[in-house]
Structures are given as structure tokens and as C-alpha cells.
């Protein structure tokens, strides 16, 4: 049965040549039973280390890990009923696909008839039935990755851990395998934790996203919350494509209220949040999708650098008058050319405001 996974104050240090490196620091969160959670963040932020501690392949330096009520902090991997699939595919080259998928079951002593039944079920779910009697060398990269997923699937794990299982595949295969992984999740009664550095993958596949920043929790929330309610500038920059625009501004008192201004725009803001910040520098975050050429209450002048067509929409890459980089997503490029100026409007409700330490003041 799927278990919730609870991490309490997890820390992982690596020591090498007299130096200590903190890979994961004070990580506390509960992954709900049966959910699909993605761990995301830039290279080196501690994603794989976190996953390996959940798998039992690394022991935390401090803190505890529970699967449900069970403390598994020091339990070996084979005692956790967790299956893990890695980025680099680890199939046995001298065994057929059928033998590869069934190997774990054979080691556990499951009899042949039951093994075959489970192998065939997995193969059907992953659409590799026709490949069952082939050798790994006869398979494409995508098929090999399906076999690796099949080996995990047949074990009927409570916890399924996937470490960038698609990063070596091309875009089309990736899209296909994303669907397979989601189908697997639906068919298995398992809590799935998936590591990726691709935030689009994280946003589209999961119920919950854990974004890490240098080993620490930046935000753990459903994807929509990370998009609409980022707790920091770091989250707003990392989540969403193209990245959130950041515009510098200052808090000013106008006599009858408070505004954020850069000279061009002057956005009214509530006194309870800004009265004691008069004179402070802040950063406004506005998503490229929330900037509009058609009009709005506030605008910034944009000089066009490059216009990029993305399917049915266009991304205008440009610069504001004060030299900040800005991206605007528009439905129609209306013949915008490099060097031209236009006004991009936004609504105050669509803004994020960050203090000079990068924490969100309001969103």
C-alpha cells in the first residue's frame, strides 16, 4: 500500500579531503500517500541526494525518514519496499527483456507462473509486449527505459523513485514516456517521487513540487501554487517559461497612499504591507503571459530585441527603458521588428513583489 513519506530535519553532509559539503540541509516535509511528487531545481541543489536517502542508498547525517508510521532512516533499501529507476539505464545485457523485468521477482523467490503473469501485465501497461523476447541491445533508448520502468512496476512497490528517467531521450520520446509514467502511477498503489531539473516536466506531471535551493526547501506545494504564489524571487524565477520578468522599483508615499514606482509606472499598494518600507528598493515580478499590448492600468516601454514564434504564440524578448531584460508573450506579433518600441501593460493583481532579500511581500 502506498505510504506517506515524512522527512524531518534531514541533513546530508559529504566529506572529502578534509572538506565538508552540505548537500541537503534541514529538509522537513510530508509527501502524501499515493501522490506524484517531483523534486526539481538546478544542478547540484540536492535532488538526487534527497531521493537516494528516501531509497536507503544514502544515510542522512541527521534527521529521520518515515514511511507511514515506520522509521526507515537506517533501514537498508531492500527493507523499504521502494523501487528506483535511474537516469542511466541499468539492464542486464545478457538477459532478455522478460528476464530483466522478472529478475527482481526471481531473486525474491516468486514462482515462474506468477512472474510471467506480472511481467506480461507490466509489458502491456508499458507497451513493450512485442519486445519481451528481445535482448536489450535490440531496443531503442526509449524501449530500454520502459523495460527499466517495468522492472520497478512488477515489484508492486509502495514507493517508486525515479531519477531523471527521461533525460537521455529526445523530446518526442520524452513526451510519450511522461504519459507512460503517469499511467504507471495510476495503476500502481504507490507514492511516486520523481527527480528532474526540467521544471516543465515537474509542473505538468505532479500533484506536488518540491523546489530545492542549495540543499534547502525553497517551496513545497502543488504546481499551481508555485506558479501563482511563489514564496520568493528564486521560486518565481525558476518556475514558468519564459522566466518571470523582474523590474526594479521603489516604495513611495504619495500623501494618500503608497505606490511602487520606477518613474514610468506607479502602482498603488496596500499601506499595511508597505507603510514601513517607504524608500526601500523592491523587485516587481510579472510573468510574460500577464503582460499585454492591448492596454491595462500600468505599462512599461519595451524595445524589441528578438521575436520568437512558439507554436501559436510569440515571445518578444526586449529591454525596458532602464535596461532590464523583459519577455512578453503575445498571441499576435503584429509585425514587431527589432529596435521597435511598444508598451506592455500589466494589472497590479498579477504582480509579485519581492523585498531586497528576495522574499515575497505580496502576490
Residues that bind ligand ATP (CB under 6 A): 14, 16, 21, 23, 41, 43-49, 197
Output DSSP code: residue 152. H
If the CB atoms of residues 22 and 110 are measured against ligand ATP, the closer one turns out to be: 22
Closest distance to ligand ATP from the beta carbon of 195 (Å) = 6
Please tell me whether residue 349 adopts helix, strand or coil conformation. Answer: helix
> Judged by CB, which is closer to ligand ATP: 45, or 97?
45
Least distance between ligand ATP and beta carbon 302 (Å)? 34
Give the phi and the psi of residue 196 in degrees, each rounded to 5.
Answer: -155, 155
Cell numbers that stand for 230 in this block: 511563489
> How many angstroms separate the Cα of 63 from the Cα of each of 5, 27, 36, 44, 344?
13, 8, 23, 21, 48
CB of 141 to ligand ATP, least distance (A): 19
Give the cell for residue 328: 512578453
Q: What is the rounded distance in angstroms from the CA atom of residue 244 to the CA atom of residue 233?
A: 9
Q: Is the Cβ–Cβ distance between 242 and 329 less than 8 Å? A: yes
CA dist 327 and 300 (Å) reads 12
As measured in angstroms, the least distance from the Cβ of 208 to ligand ATP is 17
Q: Which residue, 199 or 320, is less far from ligand ATP as judged by CB?
A: 199
Of residues 46 and 240, the one with the C-beta less far from ligand ATP: 46
CB of 25 to ligand ATP, least distance (A): 11
Q: How far is the CB of 116 from ligand ATP (least distance, A)?
A: 36
d(CA 141, CA 348): 48
Minimum distance from residue 201 beta carbon to ligand ATP (Å)? 13
Name which of 195 and 247 has its Cβ closer to ligand ATP. Answer: 195
Residue 343, C-beta contacts closer than 8 angstroms, at least 6 positions apart? 293, 299, 300, 301, 302
Query: What is the distance between the alpha carbons of residues 28 and 15, in angstroms, rounded to a whole number?
Result: 23
Instruction: Kindly tell me which of 88 and 254 has the beta carbon lying closer to ligand ATP.
Output: 88
- Residue 53 or 353: the one with the smaller Cβ distance to ligand ATP is 53
Task: Say whether 155 sits in a helix, a strand or coil.
Answer: coil
Our CB check for ligand ATP shows the closer of 45 and 105 to be 45
Question: In whole angstroms, how close is the CB of 281 to ligand ATP at the nearest point?
Answer: 31
Q: Hey, what's the cell of 286?
A: 510579472
Q: Grid cell 513583489 — which residue? A: 353
Full DSSP string of 50-92: HHHHHHTSS--SEEEEEETTEE-TT--GGGTTEEEE-SS----
Amino acid at each position: 500500500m502506498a505510504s506517506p513519506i515524512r522527512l524531518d530535519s534531514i541533513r546530508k553532509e559529504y566529506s572529502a579531503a578534509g572538506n565538508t559539503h552540505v548537500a541537503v540541509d534541514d529538509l522537513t516535509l510530508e509527501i502524501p500517500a499515493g501522490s506524484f511528487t517531483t523534486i526539481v531545481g538546478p544542478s547540484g541543489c540536492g535532488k538526487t541526494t534527497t531521493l537516494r536517502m528516501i531509497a536507503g542508498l544514502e544515510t542522512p547525517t541527521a534527521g529521520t525518514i518515515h514511511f507511514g508510521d515506520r522509521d526507515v532512516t537506517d533501514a537498508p533499501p531492500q527493507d523499504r519496499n521502494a523501487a528506483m529507476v535511474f537516469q542511466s539505464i541499468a539492464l542486464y545485457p545478457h538477459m532478455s527483456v522478460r528476464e530483466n523485468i522478472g529478475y527482481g521477482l526471481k531473486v525474491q523467490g516468486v514462482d515462474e507462473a506468477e512472474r510471467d503473469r506480472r511481467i506480461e501485465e507490466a509489458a502491456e501497461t508499458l507497451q513493450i509486449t512485442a519486445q519481451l523476447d528481445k535482448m536489450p541491445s535490440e531496443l531503442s533508448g526509449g524501449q530500454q527505459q520502459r523495460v527499466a520502468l517495468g522492472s520497478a512496476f512488477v515489484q508492486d512497490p509502495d514507493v517508486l523513485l525515479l531519477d531523471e528517467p527521461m533525460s537521455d531521450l529526445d523530446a518526442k520520446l520524452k513526451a510519450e514516456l511522461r504519459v507512460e509514467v503517469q499511467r504507471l502511477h495510476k495503476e500502481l498503489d504507490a507514492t511516486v517521487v520523481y527527480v528532474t531539473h526540467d521544471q516543465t516536466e515537474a509542473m505538468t506531471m505532479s500533484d506536488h513540487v518540491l523546489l530545492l535551493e542549495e540543499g534547502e526547501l525553497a517551496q513545497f506545494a502543488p504546481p499551481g501554487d508555485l506558479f501563482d504564489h511563489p514564496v520568493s524571487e528564486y521560486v518565481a524565477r525558476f518556475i514558468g517559461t519564459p522566466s518571470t520578468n523582474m523590474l526594479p522599483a521603489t516604495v513611495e508615499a504619495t500623501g494618500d497612499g503608497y505606490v511602487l514606482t520606477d518613474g514610468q509606472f506607479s502602482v498603488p499598494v496596500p499601506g499595511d504591507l508597505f507603510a514601513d518600507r517607504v524608500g526601500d528598493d523592491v523587485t516587481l515580478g510579472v510573468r510574460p503571459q500577464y503582460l499585454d499590448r492591448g492596454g491595462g492600468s500600468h505599462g512599461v516601454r519595451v524595445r524589441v530585441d528578438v521575436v520568437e514564434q512558439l507554436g501559436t504564440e510569440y515571445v518578444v524578448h526586449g529591454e525596458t527603458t532602464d535596461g532590464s531584460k523583459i519577455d512578453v508573450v503575445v498571441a499576435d506579433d503584429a509585425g514587431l521588428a527589432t529596435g521597435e518600441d511598444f508598451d506592455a501593460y500589466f494589472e497590479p493583481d498579477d504582480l509579485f513583489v519581492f523585498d531586497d532579500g528576495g522574499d515575497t511581500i505580496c502576490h
